[in-house]
Every structure is written in C-alpha cells, then in structure tokens.
Chains A and B, each alone.
Chain A
Amino acid sequence: MIISIASGKGGTGKTTVAVNLALTLMETESVYLLDCDVEEPNAHLFLRPRLEGSAKVTVPVPIVDEEQCNECGRCGETCAFNAILPLGKHVLTFHELCHGCGGCALLCPTGAIREEPLEIGVVEWGHAGSISHIHGRLKIGSPLAPPVVRAVKKHAQNRSLGAVSIIDAPPGTSCPVVASVSGSDFCLLVTEPTPFGLHDLTLAVDMVRELGVNFGVVINRAGLGNGGLVDYCRAENIPILARIPFDRKYAKCYAKGGRLIEEFPEIRKILQDLWHAVCVSAERV
C-alpha cells in the first residue's frame, strides 16, 4: 500500500502527518517513509534515522564532438528545453536545462553526440526504529527534481512489497509533486481552513484527479479560518478523513523537532482513525 501525502499550499503539515502516521503504524505494520521533498527534505529531523547508505542520482547529458557534426541541426530542433544549440558547426550545450531524454544523441546522424552522466542529487537510506527511511536530496544549483524523486521511489520499490509506504511529497502541483504522487494507492491532501489553503487545495484536487489517484482531505489547524473549506469538500464530494485541531502546543512540539504522537495521545488516536478511514476508502475503489 502506497500512500502519498501532498498539499497545494506549503506548510500545511504534510511532514507532520507523514512522520506521525509512520510512527503510529510502525507498531502494527512494516513501514517505509519516503521523503520526496528533495529540494528540502525534513522528515529526518523528526525521525532522526541512522543513515546506512547512499547513491548518486545522475541524468545523461550530451557531449558534442564538433569534428563529426554535419550541421544538420536536428539536435536543436528536437530539444523541448533548448538545452542544445547548434550554430553551424559550433554546438553549445546547456546542461542545467537538459532533462536527459537522450533525443539529441538518438537523432544525430553522424554519432557526434555521446552522453555523460551529470550528478544532480543523492538518495540516502537508513532506519529509525523499525521504520525504513529513504530520502532524496537535490544538488544545490540543480533545477531538476523529478529524477531524484523517481530514484527515491525506485530504491523503495522492490524492498517495500507488502509494507505500507508513506510518501512525503513536495508542496505545490508541479512536476516533482506529480512524480511523487503518481502510482500511489491513495493520496492524502493536507490543508488548512484558510482562503489560501482552500485555493491551493483546489489545484491539488485537480492534479490528483488528473492522475487518477483516489484521495481524501486532512484538515490541519482545524478551528482556524472559516467554513469555506468544508463547504468545498462537501460540494465536490471529497471525504474529510481527519481533523487535527489548531493548538499552540502542537506547534511548539513541532518547532523543537518533537513527535506529536509521543506527547499527545489524542493525535495518535486521530491518526489511527485516519489509517482506518484510508483503508476503507482504498478498498471501496
């Protein structure tokens, strides 16, 4: 079972839900926690895993031998990201724009283009108690997060059969989020009852519907704001699977890197109920 935890808006509580759900489930399930927010992974701050290994993530980028170039220009025409620019026999490459599709090398009729791996990040793994923790870290300056996200998921893929995998996704609805949520059995959209939270939730709902992933909403900081969020969920027939109340003591615990379920039994109960609701929802499909 793969559960991704996403949100439109940042800072709604994805990592809080992901980490505490993992800690709640570790008593009864084999749990994998995949932190796919590779631009700023933070689940490890709460789980404090012992790291056991790491692997580089690379994308293939083009290297051009201008001697062999026949100036056909196909490499430049095929690149959707303008990462290769043929100017006569002089061919410029922009590796930070390259998505590593290999199209230029494939289409080059003279074999003037070969590919070299460019390091864009790293996958690290380890354990926090019985929880298997895997996260990715995008190299500073590299703009290409999705291959690192996919590398995190690939590392877990064969090992986590029969386990519960919890994917902590990045905020937003862009490519790294799509890469994180794709292929999940269920997606929890964590939001807050504010106009901003609601606005970005609607974007996230459009995204998960497009991906065909079954989903439900978790309201964090419940009690804040207004009723717009609940009205929206009701009108769209979206199940609200859990409500985490707004309370300063939870924020304090989070801010010092604490684990909510260890300090507040009511949170453990909320997450146990959430897990049951997810299982029921997932089975209904």
Chain B
Amino acid sequence: MKIAVTAQDKNLDSEFDSRFGRCKYFAIVDLDTEECSFTQNEATIALGGAGVKSAQFLAGCGVSAVITGHVGPNASRALEAAGIKVFIMESGTVRDAIAAYKEGALTQVSGATTDSHTGLNT
C-alpha cells in the first residue's frame, strides 16, 4: 500500500509542507517495502486548479492516502473521487508523518479544511 506526504524538500528529514495543491514535493511511500521516492510538484506553477492537478498526480501514483496540512474544496472533491483518503497534521518532518500514520495518530478528514487558494498565500 502506498501513501503520499506533502514535503518542502526531497528527503525524509525535511519539513512536511502544509500546502496540498502547491506543495513543493510529494513523498511517495510504499509502506510494504519502506521505499520512499520524492517528486517535484509540477502543480506549484499551475495557472489554476493546482489542487486538482496534484490529486490527479497522486491518483496516477496509485496512493490510497495523503498526509498534508489542509485541502481546499476542489482538491478535496478530486481526492475523494480518486478514492484517496486525506489525513492532516500540523507540523513535523516527512519521517514524523509516516510514523504518525503507522501509529494511527493522524486525523482523517472528509471535505475541505480550507478555502481555495490558501497555498497561493502562504
């Protein structure tokens, strides 16, 4: 099973990124093999619909959950349609996020947790 973490840099000890659609990197973690790969998020420069584009990328990666800070209404709709669960956390590294997920310590949310364009302003 694969999950994704939004990240500010491309290693396990980098801070997680609280933005979803315009996060800098996606960490794609295979929980069975413990492998983790980082991909730069092309949606950071999207003209619009960054959350939709990011959700589409994650759907293509075959992840079943994403850990991030907040999701807007369009991202939330797209993730739900793609069958990707959303877990939120406030701060920590990518490594912390994965550990917290495994412990079941993260809160799963349904629906948007913030307004559109939050990631453009932070």
Given that A80-B47, A87-B59 are contacting pairs, would A97 and B52 also be in contact in the complex, using a CB cutoff of 8 Å?
Answer: yes
- List the A residue with the shortest CB-CB distance to B53: A82
Interface majority SS on B: helix, strand, loop or mixed? helix
Binding-face segment, B8-16, B76-84, B93-101? B76-84
Please report which residues of chain A, range 75-112, place their CB below 8 angstroms from some CB of chain B when the two chains form the complex: 76, 79-83, 85, 87, 90, 92, 94, 97
Contact status A81-B49, CB under 8 Å: yes
Contact of B81 among A76, A79, A92, A97 (CB under 8 A): A92
The one of A83, A87, A90 that contacts B49, using a Cβ cutoff of 8 Å: A83
The docked-state distance in angstroms from the alpha carbon of A97 to that of B52 is 10
Task: Kindly supply a per-residue 1/0 record for chain B positions 24-55, scoring 1 wherever the CB is within 8 Å of any chain A CB and 0 otherwise.
Answer: 00000000000000000001001111101101
Assess whether A76 is in contact with B49, with CB atoms less than 8 Å apart: no
User: For residue A80, which residues in chain B have a CB less than 8 angstroms away from its CB?
Assistant: 47
Q: Are B47 and A94 in touch, CB under 8 angstroms?
A: no
B55 to chain A: closest residue by CB = A85
User: How distant is the Cα of A152 from the Cα of B64 in the complex, in angstroms?
Assistant: 48
Which chain A positions have C-beta within 8 A of B52?
Answer: 82-83, 85, 92, 94, 97
Chain B interface bracket (under 10, 10 to 19, 20 to 34, 35 or more) = 10 to 19
The answer, yes or no, to whether B68 is at the interface (CB within 8 Å) is no
B56 at the interface (CB under 8 A from A): yes
Determine if B18 is an interface residue (Cβ-Cβ < 8 Å).
no
Docked Cα-Cα span, A92 to B82, in Å, equals 10
Question: In the complex the two chains form, is A82's CB within 8 Å of B82's CB?
Answer: no
Known contacts A76-B56, A82-B52, A87-B59: does B78 contact A92 (CB below 8 Å)?
yes
Contacts of B43 in A (CB 8 A): 82
Chain A 66-78: CB-based contact to B (< 8 A → 1; otherwise 0): 0000000000100
Q: How far is it, in angstroms, between the C-alpha of A145 and the C-alpha of B62 when the chains are bound?
A: 37
A72 to B81, CA, bound (A): 18
List, in ascending order, chain B residues with CB within 8 A of A90's CB.
Answer: 81
Q: B6 near A: Cβ within 8 Å?
A: no
A82 touches B46 (CB 8 A): yes
A92 near B46 (CB under 8 angstroms)? no
- In angstroms, how far is the closest chain B Cβ from the Cβ of A256? 36
Using CB atoms, name the residue of chain B closest to A83: B49
Task: Report the bound CA distance from A90 to B53 in whole Å.
Answer: 15
Closest chain-B Cβ to A56's Cβ sits at a distance in Å of 23
Give the complex CA separation of A85 and B43 in angstroms: 14
* Shortest Cβ gap from B53 to chain A (Å): 5
Residues of B close to A94: CB separation below 8 A: 49, 52, 74, 77
Contacts of A83 in B (CB 8 A): 48-49, 52
Least CB distance from A46 to B in Å reads: 33
Contacting pair B48 A81 (CB below 8 A): yes
| In the complex, chain B residues whose CB is within 8 Å of the CB of A79 | 49
Q: Is the CB of B82 within 8 A of A81?
A: no
B78 touches A97 (CB 8 A): no
Query: Closest chain B residue to A82 by CB distance?
Result: B49
**B55: A residues at CB distance < 8 A:** 85
Which of B49, B55, B74 gathers most chain A CB within 10 Å? B49
| Nearest Cβ on chain A to B69's Cβ, whole angstroms | 20
Instruction: Please report the C-alpha to C-alpha distance between residue A80 and residue B47 in the assembled complex, in whole angstroms.
Output: 7
- How many Å from the CB of A72 to the closest CB on chain B? 15
Nearest-neighbour CB distance to chain B for A39, whole angstroms, equals: 16
| Interchain CA distance A197-B55 in the complex, whole Å | 41
Chain A contacts to B: CB under 8 angstroms: 76, 79-83, 85, 87, 90, 92, 94, 97
Closest 4 CB pairs of A and B: A82-B49, A82-B52, A81-B48, A82-B53
Q: What are 7 of the A-B contact pairs (CB < 8 Å)? A: A76-B56, A81-B48, A82-B49, A82-B53, A87-B81, A92-B77, A97-B52
